[in-house]
Every structure is written in C-alpha cells, then in structure tokens.
Amino acid sequence: MNPEEAREFFKTDRYANDTTEIEILEISEGYAKTRLPIKDKHLNGNNVVMGGCIYTLADYTFGIASNCGPMACVTLSSNIVFNAPGRGEYLYAQTEQIKNGRTISNFSVKVTDDNGKLVANADFVGYRTDRG
C-alpha cells in the first residue's frame, strides 16, 4: 500500500487513535514518524508516561512503517528498553528499517520527548506476507 492508503488503513486502529491519540506525522515505505500528546490519562502512579503507552507508540509506528509497501507485516518479536521518563507536551517515535527480506523484516524505533531526549528504543521483528 502507498503512504496515503496506509494513512487511511491505520485510521481504523481504534486503540492508537481513540485511546492514546497517536498522530501520524510522516509515512513512506519502511519509514514512519508519529507523535503522542502527553495527557493525564497517559501518566502512571509515578506521574510519568506509562511504559505500556510508550510501547504502544513504538509498536504502532513499526506497524505503519512495515505495512507501507507491497506486503503486509505482523509482529513476530519485540524488545523495548526504557531509558528516561518523557518530558514536555509530546513523545515522538521514528523508525529505522534494518532489514526488509522476503519474509522477515527488522526495524528499530526510537522514542524521544520534546527536548530530544531518548525515552525508549525498541526493536521489532516482523513476518511479511502477501496481502489478501
């Protein structure tokens, strides 16, 4: 799917759009950049963005990047390291495609805050298949 088709397709992700309010900023084949507005509903008991919310941002960004192109992709495995609490009004996630093979893809996602501080980094392995 092309970037506009991907943007339309991911509008149907109710959790990312309605619950977390993640915004898609940029899409191209193998790349995505997203933004999460930090709101009270995203904060945990320590008054910082909950790790699950940060993971959702990274996972959604991987999903967008890995599905923009001719093949569909689902997550096989993922790992996330939380480096620091996010500060400011937004968290940003940006992908880097490491490998895009015939059936396996590998992406790195960096999550940063308004100050450019690395909040988390995540690695995703995806299984690629024909659409349909």
> 70-115, pLDDT tens digit by residue?
888 999 999 999 999 988 899 999 999 999 888 999 999 999 999 9
Cβ atoms of 67 and 73 within 8 Å: the answer is yes
Q: How far apart are CA 126 and CA 104, in angstroms?
A: 6
Instruction: Give the SS3 label for residue 59.
Output: helix
Q: Cβ neighbours of residue 109 under 8 Å, at least 6 residues apart?
A: 58, 61, 62, 93, 94, 95, 96, 121, 122, 123, 124
User: Which one, of 51, 54, 62, lies nearest residue 24 by Cα?
Assistant: 62
> 62-77, pLDDT tens digit by residue?
999 999 888 889 999 9
What pLDDT shows up at residue 34? 96
DSSP 65-114: HHHSSSEEEEEEEEEEEE-S---SSEEEEEEEEEEE-SSEEEEEEEEEET
In the predicted structure, residue 132 carries a pLDDT above the cut 80: no
What pLDDT shows up at residue 131? 79
Name the residue with tokens 């904060």.
Answer: 43
What pLDDT shows up at residue 18? 83
Q: How far apart are CA 120 and CA 128, in angstroms?
A: 25
Question: Which domains are assigned to the chain?
Answer: 3-130 (3.10.129.10)
Q: Cβ neighbours of residue 71 under 8 Å, at least 6 residues apart?
A: 128, 129, 130, 131
